[in-house]
Structure formats: structure tokens, C-alpha cells
Amino acid sequence: MINMQFESLRSLFYMNGHGIYVWVVLIIFLMVIIGLFLFYKIKINNFKKENNEIN
């Protein structure tokens, strides 16, 4: 059975002092992915809306 490396939520959050770096990078990572995805989704939806209005 694979064991989790952290015994508690607190130790997961702090990661022996390195937690802040890991979690900040993870947040930025997710923001970039979500940002890129939403950027094109919104652009395409707006285009289709304008296209429908014209037609």
C-alpha cells in the first residue's frame, strides 16, 4: 500500500517550511491553465454569439 508522505493536514500545508513555495507554484500553475482555457472559451463563445446575431 502506498503511504501518504504527510501525517496530517497541517504537515501537508507546511511541508517542513517548504509548503508556501509548493502551494504558491501550484496556484500559479492552475491559474495559467484555467486562464488559457477560459480565454479561448470566452473568445469563441463571443464570436459565435456575434455570428448568430449577424445571421
Partner 1 sequence: MFKKFFHQFASPKTFYFVSQKIFPYLFWLSIVSLIIGLIWGILYAPVDKVQGNSYRIIYMHVPASFAAQSLYMMIAVASFIFLIWKVKLAAYVVKSVSLIGASVTFLALISGSIWGVPTWGTWWQWDARITSTLILFIMYLGLISLHNSFNNLDKADKFISVLALVGFINIPIIKMSVNWWSTLHQPASITLSSKPSIDLAMLYPLMICIFSFLGLIIAIVLRAIQYEILLREKNKKWIQSI
Residues that bind partner 1 (CB under 8 A): 2-6, 12, 15-19, 21-22, 24-26, 28-29, 32-33, 35-37, 40-41, 43-44, 47-48, 51, 54-55
Q: Residue 18's Cα: distance from chain center in Å? A: 20
Q: Minimal distance in Å, beta carbon 49 to partner 1?
A: 12
Those residues with Cβ within 8 angstroms of residue 22's Cβ, 6 or more apart along the chain or in another chain: 15
Q: How far is the CB of 4 from partner 1 (least distance, A)?
A: 5
Determine the Cα–Cα distance for residues 28 and 18; give it in Å rounded to an integer: 16
Q: How far is the CB of 10 from partner 1 (least distance, A)?
A: 14
